[in-house]
Structure 1
Amino acid sequence: MHLHGLFNISDFIPYLAPLDIQGIGGRLKRTSKLLEKIIEEHVQGSDLDGPKPHRCRDFIDVMFSKLNQPMDPHDEDQTYIIQRENIKAITLDMIGASFETSAVAIVWAFSEILRHPRVMVSLQKELETVVGRNRFVQESDLPKLTYLDMVVKESLRLHPVAPFLVPRESMEDIVING
């Protein structure tokens, strides 16, 4: 994620790209090799029919099941659904999306709790009452933690995990079902 957000002079002066003055290109290639290694481990750990019985099937295995398969098996002229490069790109997106959104949401929730001491005290009281100090919160405790639920929802309302989605605009009026 860090590499994709860096200022790269080659983006603005393309003829400098082969020189890789800042070293960003080399670091991106090393990241690509890491993803290639992950994919190769899945290739080695599975046969043509799917993963071996001793290993759980994961998201990359599902993508490999679609590798080089035509969209319509009866039409051989159609293009393939997914290529190896697509698997690397989707894997990178999944890693980035799962880490960044969770981390940012947690940081914002804690910052809001710290900014509002009254909320923090109320939340601590609820946790002590429902869970106590001798154990961790478990999934079965969540329906009883109503104040925690409200704090989490309010934090996500104030700081949504994806506030900068691509904006969309209707280009023309439409009537649906009359």
Structure 2
Amino acid sequence: MNCGLSQQRIVQNFNEKVVIVFTEKTSNLTKEAIHKAMKETIPNHESSIYIWDSAVQESTQTTFDKIKLYESIIQKSNRVILTADLDYACAHAISKGKPTYIAFSGRCRSYLTQFYRWVSDAHLIRKLRLGKGKHKSTNVDDPYSYLGIHPDWGNGNKIFQYNHTMSFIKKAILQSRQETLTGKRKE
């Protein structure tokens, strides 16, 4: 997915404002590529796109101040779009009741695959899909996700409760044990 074109569609087609959050782990090469793509594809991007880079925030800011600023960004947002490597940020956005979209979830492995399957089955996230231009189909329920009718967003507070989480983990362990005993894969 071309980052510059995706941002361009969000800003120009949907008339949205975008906040790009860089963590301490975001490489300088990635940051430079995103800056370059914005300059090339979005005229006057300064009014529509804000970049929050936690690695270069003022050194006088405490960790608590950075957390408060990040919380404010999430609270003021209408929807959250994340890359699939940010499972903690996904859980945070879901817990705040924000519609959450995930990019690149098909590239996940191991526990990330299981996590995103779990939250997707609970209707807490949707895969990000930004079509080229305006949708020509009349079946568009959510222009940020795939075509068709989507179920209502799930309740993240209910899903992340201790009892529900423990029942999911218990079921996964029992299925894994059954696979080991019988030699057959789960359904």
Q: What TM-score do the two structures reach when normalised by structure 1?
A: 0.23
* Bigger helix fraction: 1
| Greater radius of gyration (CA) | 1
